[in-house]
Structure 1
Amino acid sequence: MTRFDSLQAWLDWQEKLHPRPIDLGLGRAAGVYRQLNPDQKQPLTITVAGTNGKGSCVAFLEAIYRAAGYRVGAYTSPHILRYNERIRIDGQPVDDALICEAFSRIDAVRGDTSLSYFEFGTLAALSIFATANLDIQLLEVGLGGRLDAVNIVDADAALVTTIGLDHLDWLGHTEEAIGREKAGIFRAGVAAIVGDWQPPISIAEVAEQVGAVLLQMGKAFTYRKHPQVWDWRAGDLQVGQLPPPAFKGEHQYRNASAAIMAVKTLQHLLAVSDDSIRQGIQSAQLPGRFQLIPGEPRILLDVGHNPQAVQTLIDYLREYFPAIKINAVFAMMRDKDIAGVLNMMRDRVTTWYLAPLVNPRAASPDMLETIFQQQGLDNVRSGFADFSEAFHAARQNSGPDELLLIFGSFFLVSEYLSKFS
């Protein structure tokens, strides 16, 4: 007998089930997975980790393999509007009933094992994908790598994007420590693709320790841009005349290049034509990352929430909006480097509008105001009842030729898309 009859009821229960919302470790999830899938059947797998760029790489891979005619499962987090976005088959979120059935199966075999919200979701995705007749599954690591629930699966190719300072309390306070955790998805004899020009030394050290086949940007593969197209190369392999990536920003050429390297690594298992690669690079979709909404003013949505991601936002603004007044609706989670982000953006934002978020992890407007004061920033408006009130104030005070930027958190972008899109 199933415990609940609606997806929301399951999710509400999961949020209260485990004593810690983030509880890294493979033991609980791996034990339940063995019960859930005793034969350990799984599709071909690419696991993606990194500080920023994971979602982009998964989106490129998903689009490339779908363009090649393969049946693709993708597990990502967090979601923007609906939980179902986390578990996709052939580009479409699976329905409530399928997720509820998976939750019920997990609940039936877990015994007295307590699982976190993320562990339940990961196990549900793996359970659904195992019986969906997929050609390949793409798994995005939620936090870290080595001890993330996704890492209970041995990937056929592992991809690490970039390494930056984030989630310091769980992963360590240096890029070397964080890189070591991210590289925990590497396996012996398996391609370990690194989409960073200068990754921490610890990544190569882990690859050597486990016997993974290290393929690093700038060494094993690279790219070259031309006025209208770009080329990708890895030794004697080349894909030329590639269209610009679907997502804006120089960093997306790196993400797309890493995705192509992963595809080429598995070419002997899933053949993909260069035309499918070109089509996928151009057609990939990723809401909330440099998402531009036309109008007066134009609205730019960005989920960037750490200094590395915000630097890519600054680079994007410099390229596409070099001399334009920008107002920002802003919120961040309280465990992020809020002061660092403000200092990076202080010269680009004319007026800040602080939006309250209904989330226990969110920094309160009072906390944000204090940090703004500490950074010597007084161009701030607050006291809004909710996101909608902050957004309306910002839009009303933005001219038709100006840019209204909404950034700092997935939850903030979700608020806009759920209420105004």
Structure 2
Amino acid sequence: MQKTLSQWLAHLETAHSNGLIDMGLTRITQVKNAMQLTPTCPIIIVGGTNGKGSTCAFLSHIYRAAGYTVGTLTSPHLLRFNERIALNCQAVDDAKIVAAFERIEVARGDISLTYFEFNTLAAVDIFQRENVDVMILEVGLGGRLDAVNIFDADCTIITSVDLDHQNFLGDTIEQVGYEKAGIFRAHTPAICGQNPPPQTMINYAAEIGADLHIVQHDFTYQIHENTWDFSGSLNIQSLPHPALHGSYQFNNAACALQAIGSLKTQLPVSTNAIAQGLQSATNIGRFQIVQQNPMVILDVGHNPHAARALSDNFKNLPTATKRIAVFSILADKDIDGVLGSLKNDFDDWYIAPLDMPRGMNSTDLLAKMQQNNISSIKIFQNIQAAYQAALSDAQEHDRITIFGSFHTVSEIAQMLIA
């Protein structure tokens, strides 16, 4: 009998001997070739430590506003798997994904594939069959050995570079920068949203002859009270502020505009479409304000770079009477770096374990917070209970922020958004 999507996903979580992550391109390339996945439309690959999903959202909504058929691969998902594979900014249905999984199953023979490799192949298979005009593919982890790197991009973006996934990418910024630069291609625009970039990234771009564009050097932007200006591969003044909240979203949007300008010969886009796309872009859980009085914010930040950005964004909000954190994190993350950046931004902490193998238990979580000199901590059985208690305790002018992991935000997003 045909598997449902839920049955497929449960199978994929355990099917590959090395689990969900197994870096390398040999196995997936063999299956790609067997499936004859050879996209002819422009491809934009988006990598980086943070900001990938938002940049993909800007690109997708702008190209859609311009009238193009857009295929977008992102990860992870917050509410349901289908979010990862979108056509024209809408999640595809179960039937399309199941059909793609079945085609992959036939093509792979005895080649073992990870969950994310199935995800990547399914997305491109669906996009190719739908004859999309542009594919936007988000890197899952790193770049050089990530599954999306089996496809040659017409333009690449690296939004930011910081430490995360050190077990796979290295424990220095220079090592991480080299891994992320692996998506660059010769004689192709390679856009970097960090200035200065790691030297390894600059060196790799020069070595292969990539056309490196660095923010605030090769392209620039200026923010005004109600508008902003962009100068680079396009020159546009008085753009509307992006719909996505957070000061860092201007940097993500600038990277997206530089890419759009770099591909304007193949995919021309009007200023009106850019403005419309900036204002319509959505991305669940990225400094997302879901409620006022009390203010409730969802933020998937789970590493020190994201924590610093979250702290900066608080400065642009009205002063809250009481600042409440609903927090949990995975055990393999840099919790000290996250807490060090944010411990002074909250008055009360409501914590709970994540019910998954990589989740940090309450005892270890409490110990870490005490080591970082955080007091006023309440412990709950799960994140939903922690949030309900925070909401019950909060007054009109307080602020509740749910953060620390995609999994943390997902549990609350299912209550508030689904």
**TM class by smaller structure:** over 0.9
The Cα offsets for residues 10-61 of structure 1, whole Å up to 9 and x where unpaired, read as: 00000001122211111111111100116x2343100000001101110000
Q: CA deviation at 1:225?
A: 1.9
Instruction: Provide the residue aligned with 2:307 in structure 1.
Output: 310
Aligned to 2:373: 376
Residue 330 of structure 1 aligns with which residue?
Answer: 327
Mapped partners of 1:295, 1:356: distance in 2: 27
Counterpart position of 1:278: 275
Percent of pairs with identical residues: 45
What is the alpha-carbon distance in structure 1 between the residues aligned to residue 222 and residue 180 of structure 2? 27
Structure 1 residues 176-215: aligned runs within 5 Å: 176-215=174-213
| SS of residue in 2 equivalent to 1:164 | coil
- Higher mean C-alpha displacement, 168-177 vs 248-257: 248-257
What is the correspondence of 1:156-175 to structure 2 with a 5 Å cutoff?
156-175=154-173
CA contact (8 A) 1:42 1:129 kept: no
What residue in structure 2 maps to residue 419 of structure 1? 415
CA contact (8 A) 1:141 1:150 kept: yes
Letter in 2 for 1:285: T
SS of 2:307's partner is helix
Deviations 1:188-208 (A, max 9, x none): 111101111221111111111
For structure 2, the 5+ residue unaligned runs are: none
Give the equivalent residue in structure 2 for 1:85: 83
Give the secondary structure class of the aligned counterpart of 1:345. Answer: helix
Task: Name the stretch that deviates more: 300-309 or 388-397.
Answer: 388-397
Change (3 A) 1:321 1:359: farther
Are the equivalent residues in 2 in contact too, given 1:161–1:196 (CA < 8 A)? yes
Unaligned 5+ segments in structure 1 are none
- When the two chains are superposed, the root-mean-square deviation of aligned CA atoms in Å is 1.3
From 360, 374, 389, the counterpart of 1:393: 389
> Which residue type is aligned with residue 152 of structure 1?
I
CA contact (8 A) 1:326 1:349 kept: yes
SS of the residue corresponding to residue 401 of structure 2 reads strand
Deviations 1:337-364 (A, max 9, x none): 1111112111111111112222211111
| TM-score, structure 2 as length reference | 0.97
Residue 96 of structure 2 is matched in structure 1 by 98
Tell me which residue corresponds to 2:398: 402
Runs of 4+ with >6 A deviation: none
- SS state of the match for residue 368, structure 1? helix
Q: Distance in 1 between matches of 2:225 and 2:298?
A: 27
Contact 2:228 2:238 in 1 (8 A): yes
| C-alpha contact (below 8 Å) 2:320/2:397 kept by paired residues | no
Superposed, 1:3-402 pairs within 5 Å as 4-20=2-18, 21-37=20-36, 40-234=38-232, 237-382=234-379, 384-402=380-398
> What is the letter of the counterpart of residue 300 of structure 1?
I
Amino acid at match of 1:341: V
CA separation in 2, counterparts of 1:296 and 1:343? 28
Report the residue type matching 1:168 in the other structure: Q
After the TM superposition, which of the residue ranges 369-378 and 6-15 deviates more from structure 2? 369-378
Number of aligned residue pairs: give it.
416
* Bigger mean CA offset, 95-104 vs 384-393: 384-393
Structure-1 separation of matches of 2:193 and 2:263: 17
Matched residues in 1 for 2:154 and 2:353: separation? 42
Q: Is the 8 A contact 1:52 1:308 kept in 2?
A: yes
User: What CA distance in whole angstroms lies between the structure 2 residues aligned with 1:252 and 1:385?
Assistant: 34
CA distance, structure 2, for counterparts of residue 85 and residue 298 of structure 1: 26
d(CA) in 1 for partners of 2:257, 2:412: 33
Which whole-Å CA distance do the structure 1 matches of 2:87 and 2:360 have between them? 35
Q: Report the alpha carbon displacement of residue 323 of structure 1 after superposing the two structures with TM.
A: 4.8
**Contact kept in structure 2, 1:37 and 1:127, CA below 8 Å:** no
How far the C-alpha of 1:373 sits from its partner, in A, is 2.1
CA distance in 2, matches of 1:244, 1:394: 31
TM-score normalised to structure 1 length? 0.96
